[in-house]
Amino acid sequence: MGTTRATLEPEELAKRINQAYKQLAITRGQLVEANEAMAAYEKSAKIANAETLLEAKNERSMTIYLEGILDTPRRSDLSEKKTQAEVAHYEARMEVECLELLVRLLEATARK
């Protein structure tokens, strides 16, 4: 039984690399947006509840109050979106790294 070897033409490889970098940029933007949305939500919650937080007797009490204030469906949604953005960005980075390794392998093979 013979094995077939899939080959990529240089143009196809360049196209895949370009697409991978575009996807990486897109996911980076989505991750930044998710982080900013989470930070804005937390900041507004802290401002809206500043009086309660200032009344806390110690840092531990303030932390407990803050956890309760932030334990909302909105924050859960933002957290989920942030996690999804992190995973998508990680996958895009891995695709870029795989393609970079493929290029290095092809370069090393071509030198031989």
What's the CA gap between 92 and 70, in Å, rounded?
30
Give the per-residue pLDDT at 37. Answer: 97
Answer whether residue 17 is part of any domain: no
Q: What residue numbers bound the domain in which 37 lies?
A: 25-111
C-alpha distance from residue 102 to each of 4, 8, 79, 88, 91 (Å) = 18, 10, 35, 21, 16
- Find all residues with CB under 8 Å of 92, minimum gap 6, and list them: 20, 23, 24, 26, 27, 28
Answer whether residue 58 is part of any domain: yes
What's the CA gap between 63 and 7, in Å, rounded?
57
Count how many residues are written for the chain: 112
Give the per-residue pLDDT at 7. Answer: 67
Answer whether residue 18 is part of any domain: no
**Low-confidence residues in the chain, pLDDT < 70:** 1-8
| Number of domains into which the chain is organized | 1
Answer whether residue 12 is part of any domain: no
What's the CA gap between 104 and 102, in Å, rounded?
5
Q: What is the pTM of this model?
A: 0.78
